[in-house]
Amino acid sequence: MSGFFRGTLLAALAGIALALAGCGGGDGVNPPGASVPTDVVQPLPLPGPFAVACSNVAQDFSRVGAGEDASSYWEGNPSDNGASRYATDLLADPANTLIATVTAPQNSNLYGSFAGQDVAFVVLACYPTTADNSRPDYPLPTGKVVPHMQTGSDAPLFADNSARYPVIAFSHGYSGSPISSDYILGLSVLASYGYVVVAPFHGDLRFSDLKIDNLSDAIAVLSHLSNFTAMQALRPLSISAALDLVLAHPQWQGHIETTRIGGFGASMGGETMMLLGGAGLTSSYPGLDVSQVTHDPRIKAAVGYVPYFGQPFLPAFGLDEHGLDGVTLPFLGISGTADTTAPIIEVEIGMSRLTGTRELVALAGVTHGFDFASTNDIFTWTLMFLDAEVRGNPVTKEQLQTMASVAGGGDDSVVIFYNGSP
């Protein structure tokens, strides 16, 4: 997950953000007299008990142009001459690939020039499969694989064909894709614990390419944010459309527990989860007014890893993050204290406004990206929170109330204490 926000406007202004943000600390966020968690828990085994398989995303890599790479298509990165590119251009079997379509609402304030347009989103779904699944892994040109990938019209091969599985809607970071970098690892770990993981290829760069060369360019972009706003607003709509697609699909609908749907978002994917919870998105600058994008009540709880809540000069949810007022979506944030792209102080300010179950975990010294030393910490916190809030496990809820950190790995600690009911 290393390419979360490379070369962006936000990274160009990171020095300013760091000076304004500080490191966060939790003072005043937790109730006076609240018991400080002290328990150190052992990490969950990775992967989990289930083998993992995924839906059909077969591609014809011979279509990749000279000097290009497949990830540019997965991520929606235009060619040097400005020609549009997306994952659909590589699909070898589109009829058997999950593809959701979003019609951007006729709201130019949020969707700019994309208002009213139909936008396609390729979707990857990974799920718990049988230990003896003989379908081969699908190799990618990056050296990664899509595990036990379906081909042709093959139906999913579930670990228990009579069971219904909870769902995790997965939103990758800006300019990534479910099969870029190490995201496929994240999908696989979640699926190995018995979830159907539904992940659209957001194709962010089709809407807004924030790569700039210097600070003066960054400042100029601040007054031309319509495409940036549209890209952010389309992300939660693509998650909802992907869920609609899978929940109605004849190969999937009988195998999903529709009342147990959670979410996981990395970086801007964390912002996407908040927007799904009904948060107001910053839609003007410098006024920092907010507009609600959507609210998908099917999402029962979500986790954000290095979640993007904006910068001090451009918060994601309006002035002082007031766009989060009244949001009840249970949310776990896992932030790095040295992250200047998604500063932990902005996450703390925003999460203090949430009125539902909430918890913020700090990873000491971690910057923006996937911290491999903290792998066990990240997934243990994530899986326990989802088990508590999506599956409703009372034992896990009780454990989270006293949990301070995960043994070994990186240096993790609770900043905002878990406030869920046992």
**Average pLDDT over every residue of 365-372:** 96
Determine the 3-state secondary structure of 243 from DSSP.
helix
Percentage of the chain lying above the pLDDT 90 cut: 82
Q: Rg (Cα) of the chain, in Å, rounded?
A: 20
Determine the 3-state secondary structure of 293 from DSSP.
coil
Going by DSSP bridges, is the β-strand pair 138-139/145-146 parallel, antiparallel, or unpaired?
A: antiparallel
DSSP of 130-178, one letter per residue? -TT--PPPEE-TTS-EETTB--TTPPP-BSSTT--EEEEEEEPPTT--T
Going by DSSP bridges, is the β-strand pair 165-171/145-146 parallel, antiparallel, or unpaired?
A: unpaired
**Average pLDDT over every residue of 221-249:** 90
The structural domains of the chain, ordered by start, are 9-22+36-416 (3.40.50.1820)
What pLDDT does residue 223 have? 55
Rounded-to-integer distance, Cα 11 and Cα 212, Å: 10
Return the DSSP state at 410: S
pLDDT tens digit string along 7-48?
344 444 444 444 333 344 445 689 888 889 999 999 999 999
CA distances 197 to 55, 79, 125, 126, 265, Å, are 10, 30, 5, 5, 12
Rounded-to-integer distance, Cα 236 and Cα 332, Å: 18
pLDDT tens digit string along 113-153?
999 999 999 999 999 999 999 999 999 999 999 999 999 99
Structure tokens at 396: 């896990």
